[in-house]
Amino acid sequence: MKEDFTTYKVKDLLKLKDFGKEINLKGWVRTKRGNKQVAFIALNDGSIIHNIQIVADLEKFDEEIMKLVTTGSCISVNGILVESPGQGQPVEIQAKNIEVYGTADATNFPLQKKGHTLEFLREIAHLRPRTNTFGAVLRIRHAMSFAIHKYFNDNGFYYLHAPIITGSDAEGAGAMFQVTTLDLDKPPRTEESAVDYSKDFFGKRTGLTVSGQLEAELGAMALSLVYTFGPTFRAENSNTPRHLAEFWMIEPEMAFYDISDNMDLAEDMLKYLVQYAIDNCYDDLEFLNKMYDTELIDRLKFIIENPFERLSYTKAVDILMASGQKFEFPVSWGADLQSEHERYLVEKHFHKPVILTDYPKEIKAFYMKQNDDGKTVRAMDVLFPKIGEIIGGSQREEDYEKLLNRIHELDIPEKDVWWYLDTRKYGTAPHSGFGLGFERLILFITGMANIRDVIPFPRTPQNAEF
Considering only residues 240 through 279, tell me which ones interact with RNA, judged by CB under 7 A: 240-245, 247, 249
33 binds RNA (CB under 7 A): yes
Cα distance between residue 133 and residue 127, in whole Å? 12
Residues 187-226 that bind RNA (CB under 7 A): 211
Give whichever of 189 and 290 is closer to RNA, judged by the CB atom: 290
Give whichever of 329 and 418 is closer to RNA, judged by the CB atom: 329
Please report how close the Cβ of residue 183 comes to RNA at its closest, in angstroms: 26
Give whichever of 127 and 195 is closer to RNA, judged by the CB atom: 127
Cα distance between residue 203 and residue 200, in whole Å? 5
Among 120, 177, 201, 419, binds RNA (CB under 7 A): 120
112 binds RNA (CB under 7 A): yes
Count residues binding RNA (CB under 7 A).
71
Give whichever of 49 and 173 is closer to RNA, judged by the CB atom: 173
**Residue 28 β-bridge partners:** 44, 74
Give whichever of 95 and 281 is closer to RNA, judged by the CB atom: 95
Contacts for 29 with CB less than 8 Å, ≥ 6 apart? 41, 42, 43, 69, 70, 71, 72, 73, 74, 75, 104
462 binds RNA (CB under 7 A): yes
Cα distance between residue 356 and residue 383, in whole Å? 8
Residues 123-182 that bind RNA (CB under 7 A): 173-174
Give whichever of 48 and 197 is closer to RNA, judged by the CB atom: 48
- Alpha carbon 405 to its chain's center: 36
34 binds RNA (CB under 7 A): yes
Give whichever of 340 and 399 is closer to RNA, judged by the CB atom: 340
Cα distance between residue 382 and residue 263, in whole Å? 9
Coil, strand or helix: which one is 345? helix
8 Å CB contact between 259 and 394? yes
Residues 336-365 that bind RNA (CB under 7 A): 336, 338-340, 343
Among 45, 92, 200, 398, binds RNA (CB under 7 A): 92
378 binds RNA (CB under 7 A): no
464 binds RNA (CB under 7 A): no
2 binds RNA (CB under 7 A): no
Among 40, 61, 292, 457, binds RNA (CB under 7 A): 40
**Helices assigned H by DSSP within 180-258:** 213-223
- CA dihedral of residues 340, 341, 343, 345 (deg, nearest 10): 160
Q: Which helix (H) or strand (E) holds 403?
A: helix 400-409
Residues 421-460 that bind RNA (CB under 7 A): 435-437, 439-440, 449-452
Of 59, 45, 21, which is closest to residue 101 (Cα–Cα)?
Answer: 45
293 binds RNA (CB under 7 A): no
Please report how close the Cβ of residue 337 comes to RNA at its closest, in angstroms: 8
113 binds RNA (CB under 7 A): yes
8 Å CB contact between 205 and 413? no
Q: Which stretch binds RNA (CB under 7 A): 33-41, 159-167, 283-291, 319-327?
A: 33-41
Cβ neighbourhood burial of 399 (10 Å; 0-12, 13-18, 19+): middle
Backbone angles phi, psi at 417, to 5 degrees: -125, 20
10 binds RNA (CB under 7 A): no
CA atoms within 13 A on the CB side of 358: 15
Of 261, 259, 268, 270, which is closest to residue 379 (Cα–Cα)?
Answer: 259
Is the dihedral angle over the CA atoms 20, 26, 30, 33 positive or is it negative? positive
77 binds RNA (CB under 7 A): no
Give whichever of 178 and 280 is closer to RNA, judged by the CB atom: 178
Please report how close the Cβ of residue 391 comes to RNA at its closest, in angstroms: 5
86 binds RNA (CB under 7 A): yes
Give whichever of 200 and 381 is closer to RNA, judged by the CB atom: 381
Please report how close the Cβ of residue 197 comes to RNA at its closest, in angstroms: 24
